[in-house]
């Protein structure tokens, strides 16, 4: 089954539950390093309305340092195996390393979520093509360690669309079926405060790419800056930004607070 088959531009919105098995993610770092706790969290998100579980073993918060391959494998693969042993919910591996993605797919994963859009490892595209799995391509200026130093755009939306057009072409050139590609404008990744709101205001412009659109605003710093609140208190801002996303055409919402966003989305989709 293709996890993207359920997307309907007018009615369906897919929720991707975030499961960070890292010690240093900006919001929930350290909470789910234990395999059993991570499995329990995945099952809880599934019960609360998640359609996909997105598992990542390397923090991509601003300023984050890279994690060695073996460390990332050790964090993610046992959790994927444990979750797959309990449920058939689609699992996404959040990585830019082809070696991690390959082992994740072998362990029961279904989707590759690449924050670098194949800029860091082209073999990730070849792997997605060989396995015929969905591939998420996200926009980011630079890399996590440096992306917030001085992100600059002539026009953030137009620049990001142009970037994504190029990365989609690269994926297709590597053999990925266009029908398997998902795009993500990369809220918070190499974006200034106002850039994030400009993307949200003009999110419908990304529909011109005619591909499923993923939105990831959950608990991010631009919400904290607006509300003057820490990550764990940004639920209302997360809900508001995701409702805006739904009304402007987002197909997939990547969130920490699955139950609450799921409830809000059930109302928002009826207004599309």
Active site residues: 220, 254
Which DSSP letter does residue 230 get?
-
Alpha helices in 174-220 (DSSP H): 193-201
Q: What are phi and psi of 114, to 5 degrees?
A: -110, 110
Residue recorded with tokens 């904290």: 224
Give the C-alpha distances (Å, rounded to integers) separating 128 from 3, 112, 144, 193: 14, 7, 23, 33
- 65: burial class by Cβ within 10 Å (0-12, 13-18, 19+)? exposed
Residues whose CB is less than 8 angstroms from the CB of residue 193 and which lie 6 or more positions away in sequence, other chains included: 222, 225
Contact 211, 168 (CB under 8 A): yes
For 194-257, where are the E strands, in sequence order? Answer: 214-215, 252-255
């Amino acid at each position: 089954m293709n996890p993207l088959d359920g997307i309907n531009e007018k009615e369906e919105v897919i929720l991707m539950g975030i499961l960070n098995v890292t010690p240093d993610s900006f919001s929930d770092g350290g909470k789910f390093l234990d395999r059993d706790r991570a499995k329990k969290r995945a099952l809880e998100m599934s019960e609360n309305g998640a359609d996909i579980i997105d598992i990542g073993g390397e923090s991509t918060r601003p300023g984050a340092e890279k994690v060695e391959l073996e460390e990332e494998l050790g964090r993610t693969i046992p959790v994927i195996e444990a979750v797959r042993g309990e449920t058939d919910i689609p699992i996404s591996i959040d990585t830019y390393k082809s070696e991690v993605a390959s082992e994740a797919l072998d362990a029961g994963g279904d989707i590759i979520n690449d924050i670098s859009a194949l800029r860091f490892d082209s073999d990730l595209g070849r792997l997605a093509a060989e396995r015929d799995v969905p591939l998420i391509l996200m926009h980011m200026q630079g890399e996590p360690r440096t992306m917030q130093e001085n992100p600059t755009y002539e026009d953030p939306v137009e620049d990001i669309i142009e970037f994504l057009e190029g990365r989609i072409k690269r994926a297709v050139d590597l053999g990925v079926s266009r029908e398997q590609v998902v795009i993500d404008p990369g809220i918070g990744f190499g974006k200034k405060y106002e850039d994030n709101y400009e993307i949200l205001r003009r999110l419908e412009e990304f529909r011109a790419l005619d591909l499923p659109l993923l939105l990831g605003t959950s608990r991010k710093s631009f919400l904290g800056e607006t509300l003057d609140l820490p990550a764990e208190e940004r639920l209302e801002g997360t809900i508001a930004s995701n409702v805006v996303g739904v009304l402007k055409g987002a197909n997939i919402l990547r969130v920490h607070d699955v139950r609450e966003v799921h409830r809000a989305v059930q109302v928002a989709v009826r207004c599309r």
